[in-house]
Amino acid sequence: MEEEKKVTKLKTIDFATGVFTANFKDYFIESELSIERAVWKEHFMLELETGVAVGKQTQDWEKAWNLCNEMKFGDLAVLCHENRQAFVKLFENKPTILKLCALFCNTADEDRRTVTHTLIDQKISDWAEEGISYQSFFALALSILKEEVSNSAKATEAILAKIKEFNQNTALFHTQTLS
């Protein structure tokens, strides 16, 4: 009978190489996403934002207190049910950070256009089997999120510059028209 191998030290990803091996598969860390994968990324980012929002829990407890004082027990029951479902869901699903990373870490023969829950689960299973540390994927997710914020800031600056230019041209047009 084959003895299960023990992992006594977790592995980390060397980001400098852009590739790591998990469960006998090479995974390439990539920065570009297809349209379908970008949609999944937006979903996962929203899940990250709502899943770690400690402020929402505080707000919901305050809301529950107010609903009790207002004797709105039906509304309170709905709020409790929604919070319970969200809490249970946290433990049923794979961590969102790993799912986000699965969009960017691909095997050589993988179709970059598409992704499925099954494919994501398989990748996470490979990484777990290999004993890769969660912190490695957390670091990768942070770099993805940092890039997202940077791109968003650049896009906002470009849009604001265009608006300023448009407003200046409009003002110049009105000045010339009125002259």
| pLDDT tens digit sequence for 118-165 | 999 999 999 999 999 999 999 999 888 887 766 677 778 878 888 888
Question: And the tokens for 133?
Answer: 């540390």
Question: And the tokens for 30?
Answer: 């990539």
Radius of gyration of the chain (CA): 24
d(CA 82, CA 152): 32
Write down the mean pLDDT value for the chain: 84
pLDDT band at 88 (very low <50, low <70, confident <90, very high): low
C-beta of residue 102 within 8 angstroms of C-beta of residue 47: no
Q: What is the pLDDT of residues 46-80, one digit of tens each?
A: 777 766 444 566 787 888 888 888 888 898 888 88
To 10 degrees, the CA torsion angle through 107, 17, 128, 5? 110
The mean pLDDT value for 1-5 works out to 65
Instruction: Report helix, strand or coil for 28.
Output: strand
The mean pLDDT value for 9-28 works out to 95
Is the pTM higher than 0.85?
A: no
Judged against a pLDDT cut of 70, whether residue 91 lies above it is answered with no
Higher pLDDT, 167 or 141: 141
- Quickly tell me which residue has 């009790």 as its tokens: 68
pLDDT band at 20 (very low <50, low <70, confident <90, very high): very high
d(CA 104, CA 116): 13
Tell me the H-state helices in 16-133: 35-51, 54-69, 73-92, 96-104, 117-130
Judged against a pLDDT cut of 80, whether residue 4 lies above it is answered with no
Adjacency order of strands within the sheet including 19-22: 19-22, 25-29, 105-106
pLDDT of residue 102: 96
Cα 113 from chain centre:
18
pLDDT of residue 52: 46
C-beta of residue 124 within 8 angstroms of C-beta of residue 25: no
Q: How far is CA 121 from CA 11, 115, 116, 175, in A?
A: 19, 11, 9, 62
pLDDT of residue 53: 47
pLDDT of residue 25: 97
Please state, for a pLDDT cut of 70, what percent of the chain lies above it: 85
